[in-house]
Each structure stands twice: as structure tokens, then as C-alpha cells.
């Protein structure tokens, strides 16, 4: 069955397991007919990513540590051996030392600050430098951000700064790549229990708080983020670029605790 994404080829970066936001996005795109390639970080994840990729009809599973420029080059060289063109890319990657995702932001070390910025922010730009060359018929790029870029969230600390910089880079990349028909957007996802999120202090409390206080009175799923991502990656959003699209059950519009919320 031809779908909205039929004929499109996309690279999904940041798949760790079937709880990953990248997996929700991959499924939504594959359901609509997209052809997919995946990158993974480190051998330990390969055995998880291989069967997931196979389940959506992909045999292109390539290693890439975005902390190393040569590794990103290797990924795009290997991809170019298989595909002559790329239509979309998903960057669902973030990292910070979990010892600094609790307590005070003030205690952030220089080492972790720089590593967090490199992996969580610069890598998107580094990926787009390579992806641009393969997006010969235009394209769509998507990264993942969080409300901690806009407001102070407990324990999010240096990741909040990283997401703010990532959101700003979406705008600059949108401007640089727009003339080639390449769109760049981000989804600001609500809190979801994933491997990366579990490293954040008091994560379960934050999840409950979102459930009790978002306008929809619930959290969001990777499938819901996937559907919104599919829209941004498809031609349905052909005039949309440089945006931060919130998929968070409306949490970002809330000014104070819901009066009916249970005590926590």
C-alpha cells in the first residue's frame, strides 16, 4: 500500500531499544511506506537495533558515534554506498553525565558541559553538514528537544542549556538549508520513560507531575511523537521549517499546578 512517505528514504539516528523515541518515529514512517536506514552507537546496541530494523524491512544498520567527526563521515560514506539520495534524517540523540543530571546546575563541570554540548547540540549540525550533500532533491531534518530549554526543570541542568542551543541551531540551519529545499524542525516531546530519561534525577516524579498537570491530563507516547514526526518529515509540512513543535499533551502552556491534581 502506498503511503504518505512512499518513495522517501530516511536515516534514523538514536535508536537504542523499542522504548526509544527514535523507534516511535521509525515505525510511523515505515507504516507510511518510507525506506529506512539506522545508525547505532556502540556494539552493545547493535544486537537490539538489528532486529528492530529488520522488523520494518531495513537491512541498513550502521555504527556511528556522533562525538567523532570521522565516525559521522564513515556513516555517510557507507550510506552513500547504498543510497544515491537521502530525503530525511532524524537526530534523536542526547547525552550528559547522569551524575550531573541531579542537584544544582551550578556544579556542572567543564568536561561534562563540553561533552553535553558536543553530543547533544553540535552533532546535529555535524550530521547536517554531511546530510546536505545527499539531500539532492530537498529534504527534511528533525531533532528532539525538551521544555527544559524554555523553563527551569528540576535536575535537567546542563541538558536545558544544550536543548536551548539545539533549538537555536534549528533556526540557523533552517535558514542555511532552506534555499536548497531542506527543512529543519524540532519536536519538543513531553516526558517519556526511555533509557536516556531514566538518568534524570526524580524522573518518575516529573512524569507524574506532567500527567497530573498537562491540559490532556496524561503523558505522551513514542507513537504519538512518531505521528507528529512523520508529518514534519513528510510533504504534508512542505512549508514548515525552523519550528519547535510541542508534542507534550499541552504541558508547555500551563502556568501553575492544576487545582485538582493529587498531592505528590
Binding site for ligand NAD (CB under 6 A): 14-16, 20-22, 41, 45, 64-67, 92-95, 119, 144-146, 189, 191-192, 194-197
Residues with Cβ within 8 Å of 188's Cβ and at least 6 positions away in sequence, in order, are 145, 146, 147, 149, 167, 244, 245, 246, 247, 248, 252
Q: Least separation, in Å, of the C-beta of 126 and ligand NAD?
A: 11
Supply the residues annotated as catalytic: 146, 156
93 annotated binding-site participant: yes
Q: Least separation, in Å, of the C-beta of 7 and ligand NAD?
A: 27
Q: Which is nearer to ligand NAD, 5 or 16 (CB)?
A: 16
Which neighbouring-strand residues pair with 144? 187
Q: Which is nearer to ligand NAD, 34 or 186 (CB)?
A: 186
66 annotated binding-site participant: yes
d(CA 10, CA 210): 32
Q: Which is nearer to ligand NAD, 41 or 234 (CB)?
A: 41
**C-alpha cell, 253:** 502552556
196 annotated binding-site participant: yes
197 annotated binding-site participant: no
Q: Which amino acids are annotated as binding site, given as ranges?
A: 14, 20-21, 41, 65-66, 93, 163, 192-196
Q: Which amino acids are annotated as binding site for NAD(+), given as ranges?
A: 14, 20-21, 41, 65-66, 93, 163, 192-196
Amino acid at each position: 500500500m502506498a503511503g504518505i512517505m512512499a518513495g522517501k528514504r530516511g536515516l534514523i539516528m538514536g535508536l537504542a531499544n523499542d522504548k526509544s523515541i527514535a523507534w516511535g518515529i521509525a515505525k510511523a514512517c515505515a507504516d507510511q511506506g518510507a525506506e529506512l536506514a539506522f545508525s547505532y552507537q556502540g556494539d552493545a546496541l547493535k544486537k537490539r537495533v538489528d532486529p528492530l530494523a529488520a522488523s520494518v524491512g531495513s537491512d541498513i544498520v550502521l555504527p556511528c558515534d556522533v562525538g567523532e567527526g570521522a565516525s559521522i563521515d564513515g556513516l555517510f560514506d557507507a550510506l552513500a554506498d547504498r543510497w544515491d539520495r537521502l530525503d530525511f534524517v532524524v537526530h534523536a540523540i542526547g547525552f550528559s553525565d547522569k551524575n550531573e543530571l541531579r542537584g544544582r546546575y551550578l556544579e556542572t563541570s567543564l568536561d561534562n558541559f563540553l561533552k553535553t554540548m558536543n553530543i547533544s547540540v553540535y552533532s546535529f549540525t555535524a550530521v547536517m553538514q554531511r546530510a546536505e550533500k545527499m539531500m539532492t532533491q530537498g529534504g527534511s531534518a528533525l531533532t528532539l528537544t525538551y521544555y527544559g530549554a524554555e523553563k527551569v526543570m528540576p535536575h535537567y541542568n546542563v541538558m536545558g542549556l544544550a536543548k536551548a542551543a539545539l533549538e537555536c541551531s534549528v533556526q540557523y540551519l533552517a535558514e542555511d538549508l532552506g534555499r536548497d529545499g531542506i527543512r529543519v524542525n524540532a519536536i519538543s516531546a513531553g516526558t517519556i520513560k526511555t533509557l536516556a530519561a531514566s538518568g534524570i534525577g526524580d524522573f518518575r516524579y516529573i512524569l507524574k507531575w506532567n500527567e497530573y498537570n498537562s491540559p490532556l491530563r496524561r503523558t505522551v507516547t513514542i507513537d504519538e511523537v512518531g505521528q507528529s514526526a512523520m508529518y514534519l518529515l513528510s510533504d504534508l509540512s512542505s512549508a514548515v521549517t525552523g519550528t519547535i513543535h510541542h508534542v507534550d499533551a499541552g504541558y508547555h502552556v500551563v502556568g501553575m499546578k492544576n487545582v485538582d491534581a493529587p498531592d505528590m
